[in-house]
């Protein structure tokens, strides 16, 4: 199973979520789950935001080698599940890469538990804010990814 995490620039939210999901999936014995991330803005080769790297270090994952990349049609064809941060991401994916049969979900649909819920809030982009904003965003990511792993156990 392939899971693609998507945000705007692929320098904050999706890299943090992907790195944490890789760690959690491995710990849960989901070695067959392949995790990747990309951004809708098409930024290529930028490092993760300094505050994202710092949060990763504090949380036990390393984003120093991460480089941003723009999403491609091939990414969408390969993904079984696409997890995004905002409704605008869902809308842009539907417009640019229509696929009504693909599972596309907001990350925060997993905030309350391992069954994705409708009406989920968006995860705000901390990109231009202080470290605390990144830390707070990661706290939400942690909860959601922990539940996503439980969902993947049954979906995979």
Q: Considering the candidates 8, 12, 13, 36, report the single residue annotated as catalytic.
A: 13
With b for 16 or more beta-carbon neighbours within 10 A and e for fewer, the 34-44 pattern comes to ebbbbbbeebe
Q: What order do you get walking across the sheet with 81-84 strand by strand?
A: 34-39, 2-7, 81-84, 103-106
Q: Considering the candidates 2, 69, 80, 125, report the single residue annotated as catalytic.
A: 125
Q: Considering the candidates 7, 36, 75, 108, report the single residue annotated as catalytic.
A: 7
**Is 7 annotated in the active site?**
yes
**Is 22 annotated in the active site?**
no
**Is 125 annotated in the active site?**
yes
Active site residues: 7, 13, 125
């Amino acid at each position: 199973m392939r899971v693609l995490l998507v945000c705007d620039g692929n320098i904050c939210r999706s890299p943090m979520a992907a790195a944490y999901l890789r760690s959690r999936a491995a710990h849960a014995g989901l070695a067959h789950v392949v995790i990747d991330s990309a951004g809708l803005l098409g930024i290529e080769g930028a490092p993760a935001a300094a505050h994202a790297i710092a949060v990763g270090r504090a949380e036990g994952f390393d984003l120093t080698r991460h480089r941003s990349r723009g999403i491609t049609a091939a990414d969408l064809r390969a993904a079984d599940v696409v997890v995004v941060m905002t409704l605008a991401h869902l809308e842009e994916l539907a417009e640019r890469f229509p696929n009504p049969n693909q599972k596309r979900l907001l990350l925060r649909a997993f905030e309350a538990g391992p069954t994705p819920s409708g009406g989920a809030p968006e995860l705000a982009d901390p990109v231009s804010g202080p470290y605390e904003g990144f830390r707070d965003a990661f706290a939400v990511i942690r909860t959601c990814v922990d539940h996503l792993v439980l969902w993947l156990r049954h979906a995979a």
